[in-house]
Amino acid sequence: MSKPIVIAVDGTAASGKGTLAKKLAAHFHFAHLDSGALYRLTALAVLEAKGDPNNPDDALRGAQTIDLTLAGGPSIRTDVIGRAASQVAAIPAVRAALLDFQRGFLARPPGGSPGAVMDGRDIGSVIAPDATAKLYVDARPEIRAHRRWQELQAMGIVRDEGDLLRELVARDLADKTRAVSPLIQAPGAGLLDTSDLGIDAAFAAALALVSPKVEGALKDRHRG
Ligand code: C5P
């Protein structure tokens, strides 16, 4: 059996990386995992147990008791959970506890799919440094804050856009400067700035960046 094809999509909060990862997975018929959901589920477990997301023992217990059935639901999409997710994500024991699940997903994509797309912060740098193709997605902070504001509004959560911008910048800084698995543009990752692109144009740009490598790997599989 040849190794599964992996597309690593990393980037800042609300940069569009999740939407692009999902669309890439659908395009290539690959499995998809939003790794941020694992940290959000950990945060949810900690807060529901009345724990402290900055406390390593509470956070590890949370990572060990995540309920994957909630991954696609709205309960982990709030800004409160996003902030707590960033806190638990800075704790090395939490990242270690979630590592096997992520590597296992890439080694054996569900449904017997020939490949997987995973989005997050450290996929191209730590989880899958030898990924077939890597993307780093970013956008100007004001644009990302506006997107987050729209997302929350659609969920019935009304927030001040200026506050969201400040929180987003703080979260970027925490994610980029933490000691373990900081957010970086991984070696070999193509940069995609979605600031001035709609979904269709952003997807076309993403496809142009990853397709040569992914198509090449798919051909090798058919030959091999
Ligand atoms: O992408 P999302 O906003 O859902 O991620 C929530 C938080 O989880 C991020 O701010 C980040 O701290 C953390 N995360 C991470 N590594 C990943 C994915 C998410 O540290 N691979």
Instruction: Tell me the CATH number at 50.
Output: 3.40.50.300
115 located within any domain: yes
What parts of the chain have a pLDDT lower than 50?
none
Q: How many residues does this entry show for the chain?
A: 224
222 located within any domain: no
Distance from Cα 68 to the centre of ligand 1, integer Å: 16
Q: What is the pTM of this model?
A: 0.96
61 located within any domain: yes
What are the tens digits of pLDDT across the range 129-150? 999 999 999 999 999 999 999 9
87 located within any domain: yes
Query: What proportions of the chain, in percent to the nearest 5, are helix, strand and coil?
Result: 60, 10, 30
For ligand 1, say whether the CB of 121 is within 6 Å of any of its atoms. Answer: yes
Containing structural domain, residue 159: 5-214
Closest CA relative to residue 102, chosen from 28, 12, 10, 33:
33
Output the CA torsion 43→54→171→10 (10° steps): -60
220 located within any domain: no
Please state the domain count of the chain. Answer: 1
Ligand 1 atom at shortest distance from the alpha carbon of 174: 12
219 located within any domain: no
- The reported pLDDT for the residue numbered 1 is 60
186 located within any domain: yes
62 located within any domain: yes
